[in-house]
């Protein structure tokens, strides 16, 4: 029997197929929040991975306006600036809006937009019902772009937008895209939207637990309005201000920080992770958007 036809392997045979564990940088503090364990002189030493795990598919979830698109765009810009190609599938925001958003952030971050613009390839499913509603059609288009442009990374913003009004199909659709991106060896981010009815701090997204169970890891973004005196004194922020948080909810591929961190959104629309929430509550940190 040819090796490709077999359904079982000895562990040793998988050696050459196993991906190397290293980080694909996002340009944010998230890069230090994933880690690996190296052995030095026979002792385990924890080291920052330097990014999201190579070839992983990460679910980036949160309620509306929690910063999902901002973070996904920042990752795309950072990768493209380093010379890696990114396929950006935009399902929510039309491509011309995405262009403006990426250009503004790129200028704000002092990146080379000319270089970036040739490294980001956009598939606009927002204005094309066939791409949005027929996973096969979208995957064919993506496969063509991945092959032609030799991309390394894929962002789908949002995956939940691909099963609007048909949440029964959520698992099947997410699984298809997951397998597709594994096959094409793309480090990927699925943005997934949460409803306010779903616990804000959980990884559960529209369509139930479909996304979180299938992907390699989840990052949950959240925002909270400071509404009471108790919250004012707990978070040390004025009433009416917003506190934004980010947390790695789980990752199958590598170790990670499990704390909730506070982040700010800069004037340029970029994400700046500041300090663990526990430090802010204890009085040490400096977080929250005023």
Q: Which residues bind ligand ATP (CB under 6 A)?
A: 62, 64-70, 92, 193, 265, 267-269
Question: 64 is in the binding site of which of Mg ion, ligand ATP, none (Cβ under 5 to 8 A by kind)?
Answer: ligand ATP
d(C-alpha 11, C-alpha 253), whole Å: 17
Beta-strand runs (E) in 34-186 = 34-40, 43-48, 52-53, 57-62, 86-90, 120-124, 153-157
Nearer to Mg ion, 72 or 215 (CB): 72
| Residue whose Cβ sits closest to ligand ATP | 269
59 near Mg ion, rule: CB under 5 A: no
d(C-alpha 77, C-alpha 86), whole Å: 9
Nearer to Mg ion, 49 or 154 (CB): 154
Using an 8 Å Cβ cutoff, are 149 and 87 in contact?
yes
Nearer to ligand ATP, 59 or 193 (CB): 193
Question: 142 is in the binding site of which of Mg ion, ligand ATP, none (Cβ under 5 to 8 A by kind)?
Answer: none
- What is the closest distance, in whole angstroms, from the C-beta atom of residue 157 to Mg ion in the complex? 6
Q: Which two tokens stand for residue 3?
A: 């090796």
State the pairing for strand pair 217-225/34-40.
unpaired
69 near Mg ion, rule: CB under 5 A: yes
Instruction: Go through 141-173 and write b for each residue having 16 or more CB atoms within 10 A of its CB, e for each that does not.
Output: bbeebbeeeebbbbbbbbbbbbbeeeeeebbeb
- What is the closest distance, in whole angstroms, from the C-beta atom of residue 39 to Mg ion in the complex? 41
Nearer to Mg ion, 157 or 256 (CB): 157
- Asked if the peptide bond before residue 60 counts as cis, ω within 30 degrees of 0, the response is no
Place of tokens 């090796």: 3
Place of tokens 């989840």: 218
- What is the closest distance, in whole angstroms, from the C-beta atom of residue 69 to Mg ion in the complex? 3
| Residue whose Cβ sits closest to Mg ion | 69
- What is the closest distance, in whole angstroms, from the C-beta atom of residue 158 to ligand ATP in the complex? 7
Question: 85 is in the binding site of which of ligand ATP, Mg ion, none (Cβ under 5 to 8 A by kind)?
Answer: none
Interface residues toward Mg ion, by CB under 5 A: 69
């Amino acid at each position: 029997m040819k090796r490709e036809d077999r359904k079982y392997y000895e562990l040793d045979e998988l050696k050459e197929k196993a991906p190397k564990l290293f980080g694909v940088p996002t340009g944010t503090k998230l890069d230090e929040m994933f880690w690996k364990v190296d052995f030095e002189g026979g002792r385990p030493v924890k080291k920052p991975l330097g990014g999201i795990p190579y070839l992983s598919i990460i679910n980036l979830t949160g309620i509306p306006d929690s910063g999902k698109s901002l973070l996904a765009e920042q990752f795309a810009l950072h990768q493209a600036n380093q010379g890696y190609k990114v396929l950006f599938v935009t399902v929510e925001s039309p491509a011309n809006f995405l262009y403006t958003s990426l250009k503004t952030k790129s200028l704000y971050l002092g990146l080379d937009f000319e270089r970036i613009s040739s490294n980001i390839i956009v598939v606009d499913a927002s204005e094309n019902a066939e791409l949005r509603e027929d996973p096969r059609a979208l995957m064919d288009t993506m496969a063509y772009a991945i092959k032609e442009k030799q991309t390394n990374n894929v962002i789908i913003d949002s995956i939940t937008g691909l099963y609007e009004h048909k949440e029964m199909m959520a698992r099947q659709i997410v699984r298809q895209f997951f397998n597709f991106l594994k096959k094409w060896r793309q480090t990927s981010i699925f943005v997934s939207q949460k409803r306010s009815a779903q616990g804000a701090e959980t990884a559960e997204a529209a369509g139930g637990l479909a996304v979180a169970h299938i992907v390699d890891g989840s990052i949950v973004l959240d925002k909270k309005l400071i509404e009471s005196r108790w919250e004012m004194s707990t978070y040390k922020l004025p009433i009416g201000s917003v506190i934004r948080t980010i947390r790695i909810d789980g990752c199958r591929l590598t170790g990670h920080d499990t704390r909730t961190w506070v982040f700010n959104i800069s004037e340029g629309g970029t994400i700046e992770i500041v300090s663990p929430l526990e430090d802010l509550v204890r009085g040490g940190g400096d977080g929250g958007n005023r």
